[in-house]
Structure 1
Amino acid sequence: MTLASMTGFARVQGEAGVVRWTWELRSVNGKNLDVRLRLPAGLEELEPRIRERCAKVLQRGNVSIGLSMQRDQGEAVLTINQTALDAVLAAVDLLRQRLPDVAPPTLDGILAQKGVVELKEPEEDPAVREVLLATLLSTLDEALDALVDMRRSEGSAIRDIILGQIGRVAELTARAESLPARQPEAIRARLAALVAELMDASAGALDSQRLHQEAAILATKADIREELDRLHAHVSAVRELMAAGGAIGRRLDFLAQEFNRETNTLCSKSNDVELTTIGLDLKAVIDQMREQIQNLE
């Protein structure tokens, strides 16, 4: 399965008879799938069907879906609103009684009053409406396919970036593992020199046996074998997830947090300048990798 990002855009147009429309879809990062709709008045019945279609092809992301429609004006019919006309004529009669010398209003003046003349769409045949709704949803499916294609294209690019970054993490982990300062002989020599220096400085006042015990405890606390093993395991887990594909963004984000945790511990245990440098490089790569991961579905 391929990877998909949560960022994408699609626009698809359609028409049926005198009606033309445009679907516009945008998606950005989100913890879950959140679909927001902007539909023309009278098409609210489409909302559950739109959400159902989105849930079938999208796993995560904040998705905005807008539908704009235009209808040819030639089909609209001018009608007289009888109630509004009666109210205007009643007002004219009242004014004529109170102001008999004033010229009566003209016909075009009366018809120009708000609400007297209305532009009405003809009654829509239910069968024709169902065909229109089906065609609208068909073009929505086209738009969703285009959105998914764009998200997968970006996901493929992100996949290559993350694989490069995880390769860098593996390389830095191997370097930390092979540092001369981490070899048992080097650790023993460093601790022995430290103990000897403390004994000389204290003129033998310190208990040498207790001092050696404390040095052994410090050596155990400074050991990073466990952190290195976990880093190797996390690298393998990321590569397996990337190979499997699909909606793996959440699991990769969890692993990125684990990478960061192990690297912080490694840096805190470091007693070598080169190991600290490697730890800081690891943190930088892991932060960059997590930024990319958070774009994935």
Structure 2
Amino acid sequence: MTGFASASASPVSDVETALPGITVEIRTVNSRFLDIAFRLPDELRQLEPAMRELLVAGLRRGKVELRAAQGRAAEEGLPQPSPEQLNRLSRLETSVQAWLPKAPPLSVHEALQWCRSAGSSAPGPARLDELALQAARAAIESLKDARAREGDRLVAILMERIVKLRELAAQAGPLVPAVVQKQQQRFLERWTEALAAADSSTGGNASVSAESARDRALNEAAAFAIRIDVAEELSRLNAHLDEIERLLKAGGELGKRLDFLIQELHREANTLGSKSAALELTGISVEMKVLIEQMREQVQNIE
């Protein structure tokens, strides 16, 4: 199922101002199975097993890509030195230069690095991992909500296709008796013509009576009716549609069950086409296959 979600987590205390915020993005596209890929910075590589566990617990199908990026820390990533820190650093620099006159003065970067290390009392890496997992959980929940909304739209589309397939099945049912009756009449006409030709060639001494010829023609028509009878296929097709409709209304994890039922629908439509003895039935079979293929594409999006 396609979807996109992103979430961010940022430090909230003054002690953590040196820590960057974390943004997690998750993209999913259609897939029969759950295929997960990560795009993590080196600082967060160790979180891949934990994030995979979160994704497996929240998702069932789809090709998933999770990206995480570190934002800039507060105030462009720079610490906020206090006057006491700067005063102390100045005294230390003066003391060092008194003993080592050739020592170069501190640069701004060195002063800020010292203030960052001196002012950080929290375990930065551990807190960074916590922020990343927090953002990942929020992104997964947002993705599940988005996929749920898309699922509702997909259910509406599938229900629409079910209605159309039922209409086509209802159209196909009455066509078979009409085709059988027409073929029966055609057999009778052929046997009548054959008898007339035989009478003319034998001078009226044909060995086959008109009654036996008529019976044979009717038997041929009955055998033809059995070959083209699609009542069983239409019955199974309607039963599969009932089951699909029931599953869609019940909800839950139904992607794989729907895959199987779509295959069965395709099989019945193929059989209907192979038994077709009329152009109308062939057209109905083709329309059914188109609708079933559309359903197959949508079902791949459903968990």
TM-score using structure 2 length: 0.73
Q: Secondary structure at the match of 2:301?
A: coil
1:276, distance to aligned residue in structure 2 (A): 2.7
1:211, distance to aligned residue in structure 2 (A): 4.6
CA deviation digits over 1:249-288, x for unaligned, max 9? Answer: 2221222222122112112212233333322222222222
1:133 equivalent to 2:139? Answer: no
Unpaired runs of 5+ residues, structure 2, are: 80-102, 105-112, 199-205
Contact 2:188 2:217 in 1 (8 A): no
Corresponding residue for residue 145 of structure 2:
149
Contact 2:23 2:71 in 1 (8 A): no
Q: CA 1:188/1:15 → structure 2, altered by over 3 Å: closer, same or farther?
A: closer
1:182 equivalent to 2:158? Answer: no
- In 1, distance between residues paired with 2:270 and 2:183? 24
Corresponding residue for residue 38 of structure 2:
37
Q: Secondary structure at the match of 2:65?
A: strand
Corresponding residue for residue 78 of structure 2:
74
Unpaired runs of 5+ residues, structure 1, are: 1-5, 76-106, 109-118
Which amino acid is 1:10 matched to?
Answer: A
1:290, distance to aligned residue in structure 2 (A): 1.9
- In 2, distance between residues paired with 1:261 and 1:286? 10
CA deviation digits over 1:14-70, x for unaligned, max 9? Answer: 212221221111011112111111111132221111011001110011111111114
Q: CA 1:14/1:236 → structure 2, altered by over 3 Å: closer, same or farther?
A: same
Q: Secondary structure at the match of 1:68?
A: strand
1:275 equivalent to 2:281? Answer: yes
> What is the root-mean-square deviation in Å for CA atoms of aligned residues?
2.8
Pairing of 1:1-297 with structure 2 (within 5 A): 6-16=1-11, 17=16, 18=18, 19-72=20-73, 73-74=77-78, 127-177=123-173, 179=174, 181-183=175-177, 186=178, 189-202=181-194, 203-204=197-198, 208=213, 210-297=216-303
Q: CA 1:210/1:38 → structure 2, altered by over 3 Å: closer, same or farther?
A: same
Corresponding pairs, count: 248
* Structure showing the higher helix proportion among its residues: 2
- In 2, distance between residues paired with 1:227 and 1:192? 22
Q: CA 1:63/1:188 → structure 2, altered by over 3 Å: closer, same or farther?
A: closer
- In 1, distance between residues paired with 2:179 and 2:162? 29
CA deviation digits over 1:154-178, x for unaligned, max 9? Answer: 111111111111111112112222x
* Structure showing the higher strand proportion among its residues: 1
Q: Which deviates the most, 137-146 or 40-49?
A: 40-49
1:71, distance to aligned residue in structure 2 (A): 4.7
CA deviation digits over 1:197-240, x for unaligned, max 9? Answer: 22133235787355544332222111001111111111111011
- In 2, distance between residues paired with 1:188 and 1:64? 57
- In 1, distance between residues paired with 2:232 and 2:272? 9
Percent identity between the aligned chains? Answer: 37
Q: Secondary structure at the match of 2:294?
A: helix
Higher relative contact order (CA 8 A, sep 6+): 1
- In 2, distance between residues paired with 1:47 and 1:189? 69
Which amino acid is 1:43 matched to?
Answer: L
TM-score using structure 1 length: 0.74
